[in-house]
């Protein structure tokens, strides 16, 4: 017992002697864990944002992009509701001002005023004062259910009252609280009206930053079906079966009169948008994975360097202990314990730090806790891969070789 206690004290003394290198190892482990967790969470978020597998009939929802015939026409002159257009052979049609599931590769939004919209159209981006990126909320089949829609005000729709195809109104969070007194209404739905005249109100986050009215947070922003959010908008059609070429051709022909169809041969389904997004987002995801791999490589080099420095400083003491009969496995275990003190604590801190950079309200296919656990495991595997071979080679050397000056 006394011998084991003395060996433990000697091990802790070695840690104190190399506290500077150990602190560097701790920082490397924390940064590597944070980088891995952030990369995993970003990739999972990118994949889940376009996951249409949970939408009933995703293959039967077609998306057609249209724009005004006159590109420079004033937005106030084109506020007609797109859903008023009768499309032959189409079971339902929903007007949407932004494409479903905008992500890092596709950004769409709306503006608080015509002036702000004009600036956004001129800049070709929604990243201007008075405009913001918004998630699309449309009444396509199964989409509201997949988004976790909840009734926060209004009569609950009966089973025979289908909400698919109902007009959609998007309003800001501040306006929803002011009108309906609904707290935490973002992402929820407000149902109004009976039967075919039902209107679905979707709530999104308020604009943060200066608005045309001078307020820090806009409270008057409302978006109605057909109101343009830029030079082009999107039209969703639903059919009983998969969207076929004949149906799309008839729909495009019906839209040619009031609008100019952008790239009619590129009409896609809602399910196809997920594949398109993944292709466009593949580079970003690959870069995140590459950065995580580089950080892990730096960590492995750091662990190897710290372990090497410790082993070189302790070669003589290891040789003496081996000569006195200490087993190589015992010394090997002590080295692993010394290094693990700092790698485990650093990896845990880095994984937990993800919450400082990633909002817990962000929705993803995996939780932040699971992401942190995966990042911790990756960092520990990388650390052990760098530690075990070098430490084992040293403790397996002959005692006389360890006692020789190096």
Q: What is the DSSP string of 37-63?
A: HHHHHHHHHHHHHT--TTSTTGGGEEE
Q: Are 97 and 247 in contact (CB under 8 A)?
A: no
Strand pairing partners for 170? 202, 223
Q: Are 395 and 328 in contact (CB under 8 A)?
A: yes
Per-residue pLDDT tens, the chain, 406 aa: give them.
Answer: 555 555 555 555 655 666 666 777 788 888 888 888 877 777 666 555 545 554 445 555 556 655 554 555 444 343 333 334 444 444 444 433 333 332 332 334 555 555 665 676 566 565 677 665 544 333 333 333 333 333 333 334 444 444 444 444 445 555 455 445 554 444 444 444 444 444 455 554 443 333 333 333 332 223 323 223 333 444 555 555 555 556 556 656 655 555 555 555 555 565 565 555 556 556 776 777 787 778 777 877 776 677 677 677 777 777 777 777 778 788 788 878 877 888 888 888 888 887 776 654 444 445 677 888 888 888 888 888 878 887 888 777 777 776 676 5
Cα separation, 305 vs 386, in Å, equals: 9
Q: E strands of 228-372, at which residues?
A: 232-238, 259-261, 268-269
Q: What angle do CA 163, 166, 167 make, to 5 degrees?
A: 150
Q: E strands of 139-180, at which residues?
A: 168-172
Cα separation, 225 vs 243, in Å, equals: 23
How many Cα atoms sit within 13 Å of 209 on the Cβ side?
Answer: 10
Dihedral sign for Cα 125, 128, 132, 138, please.
negative
Unique residue bearing structure tokens 């969470």: 41
Strand pairing partners for 204? 172
Cα separation, 260 vs 247, in Å, equals: 18
Please give the DSSP secondary-structure letter assigned to residue 191.
E
Taking CA atoms, 70 is separated from 74, 114, 231, 253, 296, in Å, by 9, 17, 10, 18, 54
Secondary structure of residue 306 in the 3-state scheme: helix
Of 338, 403, 366, the C-alpha closest to 11 is: 338
| Two structure tokens written together for 59 | 């293959």
Cα separation, 242 vs 222, in Å, equals: 34
Cα separation, 304 vs 280, in Å, equals: 38
Cα separation, 89 vs 92, in Å, equals: 9
């Amino acid at each position: 017992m006394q011998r084991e206690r003395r060996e433990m004290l000697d091990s802790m003394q070695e840690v104190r002697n190399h506290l500077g290198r150990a602190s560097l190892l701790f920082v490397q482990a924390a940064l590597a864990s944070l980088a891995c967790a952030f990369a995993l969470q970003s990739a999972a978020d990118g994949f889940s944002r376009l996951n249409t597998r949970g939408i009933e009939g995703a293959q039967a929802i077609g998306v057609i992009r249209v724009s005004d015939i006159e590109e420079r026409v004033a937005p106030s002159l084109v506020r007609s509701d797109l859903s008023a257009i009768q499309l032959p052979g189409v079971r339902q049609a929903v007007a949407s001002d932004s494409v479903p599931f905008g992500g890092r590769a596709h950004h769409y939004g709306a503006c608080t005023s015509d002036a702000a919209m004009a600036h956004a159209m001129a800049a070709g981006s929604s990243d201007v004062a008075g405009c913001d990126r918004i998630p699309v909320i449309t009444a396509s089949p199964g989409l509201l259910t997949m988004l976790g829609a909840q009734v926060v005000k209004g009569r609950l729709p009966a089973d025979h009252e289908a909400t698919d195809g109902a007009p959609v109104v998007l309003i800001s969070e501040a306006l929803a609280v002011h009108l309906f007194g609904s707290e935490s209404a973002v992402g929820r739905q407000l149902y109004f009206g009976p039967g075919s005249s039902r209107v679905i109100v979707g709530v999104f986050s308020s604009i943060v930053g200066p608005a045309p009215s001078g307020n820090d947070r806009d409270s008057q922003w409302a978006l109605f079906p057909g109101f343009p959010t830029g030079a082009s908008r999107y039209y969703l059609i639903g059919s009983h079966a998969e969207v076929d070429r004949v149906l799309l051709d008839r729909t495009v022909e019906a839209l040619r009169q009031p609008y100019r169809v952008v790239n009619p041969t590129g009409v896609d389904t809602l399910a196809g948008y997920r594949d398109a997004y993944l292709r466009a987002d593949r580079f970003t995801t690959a870069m995140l994975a590459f950065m995580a791999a580089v950080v892990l490589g730096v960590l492995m080099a750091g662990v190897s360097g710290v372990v090497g420095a410790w082993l070189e400083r302790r070669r003589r003491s290891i040789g003496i202990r081996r000569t006195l009969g200490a087993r190589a496995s015992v010394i090997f275990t002590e080295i692993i314990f010394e290094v693990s003190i700092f790698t485990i604590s650093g990896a845990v801190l880095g994984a937990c730090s993800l919450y400082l950079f990633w909002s817990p309200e962000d929705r993803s296919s995996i939780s932040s806790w699971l992401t942190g656990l995966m990042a911790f495991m990756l960092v520990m595997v990388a650390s052990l891969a760098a530690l075990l071979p070098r430490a084992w080679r040293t403790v397996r050397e002959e005692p006389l070789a360890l006692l020789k000056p190096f």
